[in-house]
Each structure stands twice: as structure tokens, then as C-alpha cells.
Amino acid sequence: MHRWILVAALAFAGALFVAPAPTAAQDKKEEPALTATQKSNVAVLDALIRNVRQSFYDKKYGGHDLNKLREKYLPAVVESRPGAALHKVLNQLIAEFKVSHFGIMEGDVYSVNFVPEMNNTFSVRPGFDIGRIHGEYFVANVYQDSGAEHAGLLRGDRLVLVNGQPIEESPLLVDAGSDPGIPGEPHFFLRVPDDMTEISLGVQRKRGDEKLTAITLKPTAINMIYSTKKSVSVIEYKGRKFGYIRFWHFLHEGMTNALRNALKKDWKDCDGAIIDLRGRGGSPLVMNACFAPFGKPPAMGRMFGGGNVNMPHWGKPVIALQDAGSRSAKEIYAHNWKYLNIGPVVGETTPGAVLGSSFVELPDGSQMIMPMQDAAIYCYGNVRLEANGVAPTHAVKDLLAYSQGVDTIKEAGIKVIYDLVRESTPAKSEVAPEKPPVDDGEVEEKFFVAAR
């Protein structure tokens, strides 16, 4: 496995299929008579076990006996319906490993939401993702210039109805590829069937609202690389200008290009910059290139070590934003940022979901994300961040539910960068006004008068 494939949040990586190879223990055991469907289910289970045996990053398998795990879950696998029900059982097995970057997602979720981010193609999506808080579903992120943004959907809207159905019963709601083995609520996407041109949503915008806000959303062809480019902006605050970029992931060099253009053009006259690290991880190469304008990436061998990435240098004040969803490569970025003391980090402690991983296609077309490498090599100090999140320097709670589009972390970050810039260079309005010029003759006259 090439170690540069991925350090990802929900791990965007090239699909890697490791051919199943039967174990001696399984060869000796004779399975009871099974139907064709049941045999297909067992084939998926066996592919999971065999890929773990061959490529899992921990050769002690977290202390588990893989044959015993297979035996434990085999009855439920045999009795499951194919598809989501089977994957739920397999994710219960995976959860026993208690590590990140390990789970099964539906094949269409992978092809629509992950593949386009790796090869910079577009797919039709609603343009937002969903977080669950105490059993309720909220808009967690709205992508820039997406159908969701144009429809007026706001971050923090509580999703109640999807096409007239309660969201929890909607066939469009699908797990976004969450890690079953680590704490935290899963995230979700909405599917867009090929024949669907509109999605009707009923949202509760304010806590206690009895009447739902109706929103009609038209999905559009989009990807997060495009939204990152559209996020590049200049924020004006109290006479200062701050560059801003939202890195939705570090999967593709399009992110590097977006930052390079911002540094050279959009932010040329800015007093400071805000680097938004909230969201998924990505490739170490892209991560390092996007780190280089602010500090030297750690040396990690020929493939990764802080070489010439052709990025302009940023010498002005800069801060980073993160939250409890900043995963994997974003956590490494934040750790290295703090290690070099580049600037403040504003937000929440990250989840500690940091392993090098890749996708494995299973026999039923589903995709298994699996950790294949400890990612400490990418961190200054060779620190192991898995299960050890990165704390911010300025703690700010993300008040998502019913926030009506307000972003508490971003707003706090603007104030932090303002104070940082103000300390380093006073604004023009704060500089003492120059005394009016005095005529040389007047100065000379005053001198001679005083001398007399």
C-alpha cells in the first residue's frame, strides 16, 4: 500500500480491492446449507475479515481473534437482508476495533460524494450535510454556491420533513460514512435519485417554532473543491481586511490552487488571514502544500518532506479555525501549526481520528474504509494523534442547533485575528494624525524671537 494514498477524514482515497484469500480455519469449517442471498452476505463478511488480516495497520488487530469475530457475527450476517441491513451488522463488528477510518458505506454514497473529490469532477448533490444532535437532524454545513445556499437553507436549520416524510423515515437520508468505532454522532447526506430535480424540505428555523419553513431545493452539479474556491473572500471588520478560505478537504491539488490564487491576488491588500480547517482530511501532499505558506512542513521522506511546493509566503498574522469535526489531515495540520506557533487556533478540540487509510471495494459494491497506517510520521514530534485530539488555543463552542446561519467559531475567529493584527500594526484611523506642516520662514522667525 502506497503510504501517500491518504490521511483522510472519512478517508477519500482510491478504491483498493484486496482479493480475498481463504484462511485455513475457514477452509476446515463447513458452512450449513445457505441460500444464494445468504452466501452473498457471507462473501461480504469474508472479504472484510480477509482484507483486515492482510492490510490492517495493527497486526495485532486490536487484540481480536479474527476467526472468533467471524464466528460471532456469522448468524446475524446470514439472517440479514442484503444492503444497508447487512452493512449495519458489519459496522457493529467493525465498531469492536474502536479505531477511526474504519467503516462501511453504500456504494452510491462513495461514487457521488467521495470519488468527485479525488478526481475533481462534479456530481449532482443538494449541497449540504447533516449532523444529528440528541436524535434530531440539523444542517451542519452549507457548501458555497450550492443548491442549498441558493434555496436559502441555513446552517443550524432543524430538518423535519423531506418530500413530506419525517426525515428519519426518508429513503433519501443516508449515512455519510461515519466511524462506528469511535464516539460521536454520525453525519448524513441526502441522496438525489436520477429522476429527482427538486427536494422539498420542512425546517424548524427557531427553537419552538410551530410552523415549519418550507424550502424547495434544486440539486446542482458541484464538488467541494469548487466550493472551496468560492469560499475565498475578504472579510472587512472595523477598518481591517482579512482573507478567508474554507478548506472542505485536502484531497485534491485544486485546494492548493485555490490558496495560491488567494495569496497572490484576492488577499494582496489584506491585514491578516483566516484558515478554516473544519471538515474532512485528505492527502499529505496537499496538506503540506497548503501548510507551506505559513510554516515549513515536517520532513517525512522524499515523498513529503517540506520541499519546494511553489507556494507564496504569507508573512502577516494568521489564525486557524477547527471544530469537533476537523478530522485526520486537518488534525495533523492543526498540530503542526501549534507546534511551530504559527498563530492562534480557534474552536473546539478535534476528535482524534488520525490514521492513514484507503477504500476497499467489497463484493456487493459497498465500500469499506480501512486504516492501513499510523499517521504519526506526518506530525512534528512524531506524535500519535489517534484518540488524542488537538486542543484549540482559543476555545469556542460551535452552537449549531437553531443557529439561523450564525457561525460562532468563525465570528470568534474574526475577533481574534482583529486583535492580533491590531497588536502588530495599528489601523490607519488609530495612528496619531500628523501635525500640519509649518512654514520654514515661520520656524526661522520663532527661533530668532526666542533667541532675543
pLDDT tens profile 358-411: 999 999 999 999 999 999 999 999 999 999 999 999 999 999 999 999 999 999
| Per-residue confidence (pLDDT) for residue 438, from 0 to 100 | 44
CA distance 174 to 267: 38
Rounded average pLDDT over 2-22 = 38
Rounded average pLDDT over 273-291 = 96
Number of C-beta neighbours around residue 108 at 10 A: 16
| Per-residue confidence (pLDDT) for residue 31, from 0 to 100 | 61
- Give the residue with greater pLDDT, 23 vs 226: 226
| Per-residue confidence (pLDDT) for residue 424, from 0 to 100 | 87
Q: Which of 43, 31, 35 is nearest to 364 (CA)?
A: 43
Residues 6+ apart with CB under 8 A from 138: 130, 131, 132, 156, 157, 158, 159, 400, 401
Sign of CA dihedral 305, 292, 322, 104: negative
pLDDT tens profile 56-95: 999 999 999 999 999 999 999 999 999 999 999 999 999 9
Domains and CATH numbers, the chain: 123-222 (2.30.42.10), 224-355+373-428 (3.90.226.10)
| Per-residue confidence (pLDDT) for residue 427, from 0 to 100 | 53
CA distance 28 to 219: 52
Residues 6+ apart with CB under 8 A from 315: none
| Per-residue confidence (pLDDT) for residue 299, from 0 to 100 | 81
| Per-residue confidence (pLDDT) for residue 329, from 0 to 100 | 97
Q: What is the mean pLDDT of the chain?
A: 89
Q: What is the pTM of this model?
A: 0.87
CA distance 173 to 192: 10
